[in-house]
Amino acid sequence: MPEEPESIRVPDNDLDDLVATVARLVNETRAHGQLLDRLAEEADDTSVRPGDGGEQPEPEAESAFILALDEEAYRTELAALTTWVHHLLLPVYGREISTARPWCQRWQDHPEAVARLHALWLAWQQFTDIGAGPSGPSVWHRDHLDPALLQLRSADGPFGACTTSPARPHHRLLPAPEPAAGA
């Protein structure tokens, strides 16, 4: 009788990374499927075929950046980002909330925060991958984490009107600047 394979135990602290990675891979797989479907439709719709001497239209490049996604993809990506922020970023790098370092529990309502955190997460995925080499995490800290947190948690950053004390949670979106007259 063949032996059963030995079960693998994943340390609890690695589960959050694994969940975020699986969510990202599911999103990428879904996006690739949509791209393949669209490319197949475009190939059916075009009268120019390879070998005709005509040129095939270039497919539109899709961005991985959350602000460039459609509504459904945005919601899916935000859910995966939220898991990463709540289970890895904040427990490790959150630090104390103060007037000098505000935070908002409703950070998902702040477009600038979503954009900066998503960019930070994309960089984290790149620089913690084995292909980034042994210095990848150090580069991520220096080039991505530290500047992002300085912007996010500064007194005049996106959370400047939000929580400055954990005992007094507060949320307020600051108005965006008005466009210049005639613009």
In this prediction, residue 1 carries a pLDDT of 61
CB 162 within 8 Å of CB 172 = yes
Residues near 73 by beta carbon (within 8 Å), at least 6 away in sequence: 27, 30, 31
* Residue 53 lies inside a defined structural domain of this protein: no
Which of 67, 71, 56, 62 shows the shortest CA–CA distance to 36? 62
CB 123 within 8 Å of CB 84 = no
CB 65 within 8 Å of CB 117 = no
CA distances from 20 to 40, 63, 84, 122, 131 (A): 30, 19, 6, 11, 18
* Residue 87 lies inside a defined structural domain of this protein: yes
Provide φ and ψ at 114, rounded to 5°: -60, -45
Residues near 1 by beta carbon (within 8 Å), at least 6 away in sequence: none
* Residue 178 lies inside a defined structural domain of this protein: no
Rounded to an integer, the average pLDDT of 144-160 is 95
Residues near 117 by beta carbon (within 8 Å), at least 6 away in sequence: 81, 85, 89, 107, 148, 152
* Residue 163 lies inside a defined structural domain of this protein: no
* Residue 141 lies inside a defined structural domain of this protein: yes
The three-state secondary structure class of 103 is strand
In this prediction, residue 173 carries a pLDDT of 87
* Residue 32 lies inside a defined structural domain of this protein: yes
* Residue 182 lies inside a defined structural domain of this protein: no
Report the number of distinct structural domains present in the chain: 1
pLDDT, the chain, mean: 83
Q: What is the C-alpha to C-alpha distance for residues 127 and 139, in angstroms, rounded to an integer?
A: 7
Residue 183 has pLDDT above 50, yes or no: yes
Q: How confident is residue 50, by pLDDT bands cut at 50, 70 and 90? A: very low
The three-state secondary structure class of 163 is strand
* Residue 135 lies inside a defined structural domain of this protein: yes
Residue 90 has pLDDT above 70, yes or no: yes
List beta partners, residue 163: 103
| Parent domain of 118 | 12-44+60-152
Q: What is the C-alpha to C-alpha distance for residues 104 and 114, in angstroms, rounded to an integer?
A: 12
